[in-house]
Chains A and B, each alone.
Chain A
Amino acid sequence: MMELLDPTTGAVTQSIAYVPRPARLEGQRVALIENTKFNSDKLLQKIGDILVKEYGAAGTRMFRKRNASVPAHEEIIEEVRKTCDVMVAGVGD
């Protein structure tokens, strides 16, 4: 019989508070969080245009992260807080 020590570390439980989703997008100002990858701005803008045209959003504003591998920086978050009501963000290649 051997006794082995576990080399892994379990994930730390974190609580993340989500703001409730708005019931409607009419009149809402939409932030688009662009992750710097090729064509991410085009894809997000198309999504933003659909939200304006088909769902009545008031408009869109694009924000660019420093790079794809980091969270949106504080200045972006602060500006979104001040000037937008909802945001669209995603990661991927």
Chain B
Amino acid sequence: MPATLTSTRHRVEGGLDDAIEFCFQQGWTDGLPVVPPTEAKVRAMLEAVGLDPKQQVAYIEHRAVAITAEKVAINAVMAGCKLEYLPVVLAAIEGIGDPKWSYHGPGTSTAGAGVLLVVNGPIARALDINAGDNLFGPGWRANATIGRAVRLVMRNVCGSRPGTLDRGTLGHPGKLSYVIAENEAESPWPPLHVERGFRPDQSAVTIMAAEGPHQFYNQLSNTAEGVLTTLADAMKISGNVMGQPPYMLVIAGEHMRTIAKDGWSKADIRRFVFEHTQNSHAHLKRTQRMAGEVKPGDETLMRPLVESPDDILVVAAGGRAGAFSAYIPGWGSKRSSQPVTKEVRR
């Protein structure tokens, strides 16, 4: 006997167009049309992962909200997910419920965090999650709909609606969906999830509250130091510079090959960037980021952009051609929200 779905049912007269319009009218969408969540579609989603509809996937303590498998499945259907995407969505929802990620800040803040998901391991390739050209851009169903499902859960279950609980001053396009995979096939480095304690044959998703990607150019240098010097210079005044949020570096094909050719590891990248993104107290004060008057010694008293090199996450991803990569400031501060990595269970 299949488990009962307990969500309120709405009868909509007419056909598919009327149902899509009804979803808009209810305030259930992110501004784009959704797939109307019928019982058959929601059941298929739950059966694909063998979850009881009532099972709690995450509990958002600060909001006292329990997110059940049924609600995740409904919102995943609406987002346009294939059945096989659901395990990734579930892992991401576990992540936003982790006290270290600390939902209330990124789910509501004026600083407008997106939920950046980096998918690693075999499932990224099985689901064709894009790790290459147009990494953050359009064109891949998995990238577009997995992140969208997470945002719809935040909107519909957790109440993070723009203008009410979600008070992002600017927001950013990644708040629609913000999902990438690491290019493990071509990367010279250990993948992100392995650095964070998983085996290469496990699949995992890293969840980080984040600003949009900041692209930087270096079409000149053919050394690791040259490329990363440009990166550090672009990055050193970015994000909530006084909050010391975590950062992600997304190193794309040409830069990846240049850096790897010089034998630099991810740890080398982290260390170099940590050392070269420090700002003097004098500069922070003159530019109205740090309170107070410039004092003797402030020119040489340095403040790192992040607390530790380990607060810089390094991911190999992006197109093979083009001397561009990106840095992504995390939301707020490390004290307020930390990236978490959750296993994708199938």
By a beta-carbon cutoff of 8 Å, the part of chain A in contact with chain B is 1-9, 11-12, 14, 38, 66-71, 93
Contacts and interface: CB of A to CB of B under 8 A. Distances in A.
B333 interface: yes
Contact of B11 (A3, A14, A70): A3
Interface string B1-27: 000010111111111101100110000
20 contacts: A1-B14, A2-B18, A3-B39, A4-B9, A4-B12, A4-B22, A4-B36, A5-B70, A6-B7, A6-B9, A7-B7, A7-B75, A7-B78, A9-B66, A66-B335, A67-B332, A69-B109, A69-B332, A70-B104, A70-B336
Interface of B: 5, 7-16, 18-19, 22-23, 28, 36-39, 42, 62, 64-68, 70-71, 74-75, 78, 102, 104-105, 108-110, 152, 156-157, 159, 291, 332-333, 335-337
Contacts of A4: 9-10, 12, 19, 22-23, 36-38
A1 B36 CA distance: 12
A67 B28 contact: no
**Main secondary structure on A side of the interface with B:** loop
Contacts of B10: 3-6
Q: Which of A1, A2, A12, A14 has the most B CB atoms < 10 Å from its CB?
A: A2
Contacts of A70: 62, 102, 104-105, 336
A66 B150 CA distance: 27
Contacts of A6: 7-10, 74
Contacts of A67: 105, 332-333, 335-336
A14 B8 CA distance: 21
Given A38-B291, A67-B336, A71-B62, A5 B110 contact: no
B54 to A, nearest CB: 12
B169 to A, nearest CB: 9
B10 to A, nearest CB: 5
A86 B320 CA distance: 62
B74 A2 contact: no
Given A7-B157, A9-B65, A12-B65, A68 B105 contact: yes
Contact of A8 (B11, B36, B156, B337): B156
Nearest to A9: B157
A11 B14 contact: no
Given A67-B333, A68-B105, A69-B109, A9 B37 contact: no
**5 closest Cβ pairs, A-B complex:** A69-B105, A6-B8, A7-B156, A5-B7, A67-B336
